[in-house]
Every structure is written in structure tokens, then in C-alpha cells.
Structure 1
Amino acid sequence: MLVNADFSRPVVVTPDRYDWVTSPQNGVERVMLDRVGEEQARATSIVRYAAGSHFPDHAHPRGEEIFVLSGTFSESDDHYQAGWYIRNPPGSAHQPSSAEGAIIFVKLRQMHPTDSQRVRIDTRDPAVWRRQGHREVCPLFLSDTERVCLQRISPGEALLEGRIGGAELLVLAGNVVIEERRSCERGSWIRLPQGESLKIVAGPRGATCYLKTGHLLDPQAETSA
């Protein structure tokens, strides 16, 4: 299965374009943002758990990255409310579930094979945020191959501008405007290839965004692993 699998092209998926697809597990649906492979795939998705739904215990050979968007997401006896960032490195295993229901942003099989860092960050905690110029930044992960953070930017402030080395963002609050033309509201996912030149600024309400850079410099390495 191939969904937005041409990494040389920019992609924008807004919430009005969400296509919810039933997963093999009862009570779990997903929006496939990009995907290369069948059930065991390199994938980026929005996943919705109905109350009481779960997956059996399973491993992640190339790792899994999660941001909880709403509800409460659980791994066995650990429970994460909206705003938690979770990073399970390659070779890890877990048994995900949600008693009350949850929506999460998930990236599968996209970590470097040597990545061994397990991360749990509650981004609702003011102590994990820092001021950088006119914006607030919450660092989530940093390595030689990728940088992940949340950014809060003021109305009209540029999140990205000029030629970039590849980037992926999810609008968590407010909205962003691409090239002064296209408004992308909360829930919009944007993937920009290496070398793309675009201006993305916060809309009139400002914006909070998940931002990941560096990981698309060699996307073929991801899809062939």
C-alpha cells in the first residue's frame, strides 16, 4: 500500500480531508497520512481509539513515536493524557489501549536503527518549555538524524521560511497560513521535502505546532529499511 509515498513532493492533509479507515483491531480507526507497506508499514497516521479498545502486546522493530491529541492513551499500567509525547525505540514492545477513548498522532518504523532512547514528556508542564526569541519551544528529541519539538508562535510569525532541509508539522492549536494563501487549521498535517521553499506563518490566532526536521534528508533509507 502506498499513501503519499512520493517524498519528493509536498503534502498537505487538512481535517476536512480525513479518511477514517477501520484497522484490524476492533474499535480502532486511523487516517493514513503517509504509508509504505501493508499492515507492517512505514507509516504516519492519526489513530482513534474507541472507549475500551486495545491492541495485543506487540513489538516495534523500527520504533514508534506518539503524541496524544485527546483522551487518555495507555500502555499497560501507564496512562498518558492529551499533551504527552511518547517515544518507543527500535526493538521495544508494548500493549496499547484506551479505557475512555483517545486520538493520537503516530509515526511507525521511522527511527534510526541505533536510536535507543525511551522518551516520555508531558508538554502541559510549563517547565519543559523555553523561550527562543519571540517564540516558545518545547524540545522533545534531538539526534544527528532528527529534531523534534513543539513551537508556539505569535500571529504572523514565520514557523518556516525559505529553503528547508525537509520538515513535517502537525497543527495542534490555532492555524498556519502557507504562502499567504492557504489556511491550515488545527489537525492539519504538512510534509515538505528537502529543498522546498515555502513560507508558513501563524494565522490570526497564533499557532502551536509539532515540528520534525532532519528525518527527510534521505527518505529512501526509511522506506527500504
Structure 2
Amino acid sequence: MLNMDFSQKVVIRTAEQEWVPSPAGGVLRKPLAREEAERGHATSVVRYEPGASFQRHEHPLGEEILVLEGVFSDETGDYPAGTYLRNPPGSGHAPFSKDGCTLLVKLHQFDERDQSTVRIDTTGTPWLPGIGGLQVMPLHEFEHEHVALVKWPPKEVFRNRPVTPS
């Protein structure tokens, strides 16, 4: 297991991390959190070299992707940098990248009842005002889960506001 105690603060300098080969040739990873070697809960930065692909596979508890660089593709389309993808539990695909790409990927972290497929171009989606100087871009909600991008201005400090019972 890697960084699975969520009560502990973890700082990972991904620029200093080595790329680790995945089971698919030309697909490399920088693991951020992982439950087991090739299954279960995982969060990674993933790089597809030009022409790299994975065979078709399923995601029992979903997959969440933010395309950081390049174009990520599967049989449902081509997704350029800035695209947020959410593939629901039980979904499957055969991903590839013609020219290469870098992704943030989260696996096996959904409620099995959340069956929403989401595709958002975050480069054209407006930011909303948040607490202090923060800006927020909501991406998905399901019951108690709220997924969003948060833009932090320089020198902003997180101010945790206590929740007042109603």
C-alpha cells in the first residue's frame, strides 16, 4: 500500500519522481496512492508515449481522468488537455494516445450506484467564486461526493470554516 492513510498529510514532488512502467508498453506512471499492485484504489500521474495503448479493460468502481497534456483517446472520442472524464463503475474502454499525453488518473473510488458518465472541457467552463480568493469549477456531484477544480491565487491561505449544525 502507498499513501492510503488519509488521516496523514502527504506531499509528493512529482517532478522528482521516476516514471514506473505499467503492464502496457509505452504507458508509464508516477503513483501517488495505491491499494494493491494492479488493482483497487489508485491515484497516479500517467504518461502515454506516442502510439501507446492499453487493451480493453473494465473499471469495477469507475475511473476519473484529467488530461494534463496532449490528447487522450478511446473508442468514445479524443480528449485534449483540459478534459475531465468520469467513467462509471462497470464501464470499460481501450485507451490510447496517437501523439502522447499526460493524465491524472483516479481508479476504483466511486460509489457503485453512481452511474454518470461525464465529459467536461474545463478550458471553456467558467470558474465560480469560492471562499476568499479561491475560484471553483464544479465537475460532478453524487450524494455526499463533490468533485471540483480549485484555482488558488498566489499567497492564498486555506481557511477551514467550522460547520454549524442546523
Q: Do they fold alike, i.e. is TM over 0.5?
A: yes
| Counterpart code for 1:19 | E
1:81 aligns with 2:49: no
Cα deviation for residue 76 of structure 1 reads: 1.7
Equivalent residues in 2 for 1:1-225 (5 A)?
2-125=1-124, 127-132=125-130, 134-158=133-157, 160-162=158-160
| Counterpart code for 2:26 | G
Cα deviation for residue 142 of structure 1 reads: 1.5
Q: Distance in 2 between matches of 1:103 and 1:17?
A: 16
| Counterpart code for 1:154 | P
Residues 129-178 of structure 1: CA deviation (Å, up to 9, x unaligned): 333464432110122232111122322223x334789xxxxxxxxxxxxx
Contact 2:67 2:83 in 1 (8 A): yes
Task: Give the aligned CA root-mean-square deviation in angstroms.
Answer: 1.9
Contact 2:40 2:107 in 1 (8 A): yes
Q: Distance in 2 between matches of 1:72 and 1:89?
A: 21
Cα deviation for residue 77 of structure 1 reads: 5.0
Contact 1:76 1:97 in 2 (8 A): no
| Counterpart code for 1:40 | R
Cα deviation for residue 128 of structure 1 reads: 3.5
Change (3 A) 1:109 1:77: closer
Q: Distance in 2 between matches of 1:113 and 1:164?
A: 30
Instruction: Kindly tell me the number of residue pairs found equivalent between the two proteins.
Output: 162
Cα deviation for residue 81 of structure 1 reads: 0.7
Q: Distance in 1 between matches of 2:33 and 2:87?
A: 20
Contact 2:61 2:89 in 1 (8 A): yes
Contact 2:14 2:30 in 1 (8 A): no
Change (3 A) 1:137 1:7: closer
Contact 2:135 2:152 in 1 (8 A): yes
Give the number of the structure whose residues are more often strand, by fraction. Answer: 1
Unaligned runs of at least 5 residues, structure 2: none
Identity %: 43
SS of aligned partner of 2:96: strand
| Counterpart code for 1:107 | K
Contact 1:65 1:88 in 2 (8 A): yes
Contact 2:51 2:96 in 1 (8 A): yes
Change (3 A) 1:21 1:135: same
Change (3 A) 1:112 1:154: same
Cα deviation for residue 15 of structure 1 reads: 2.5
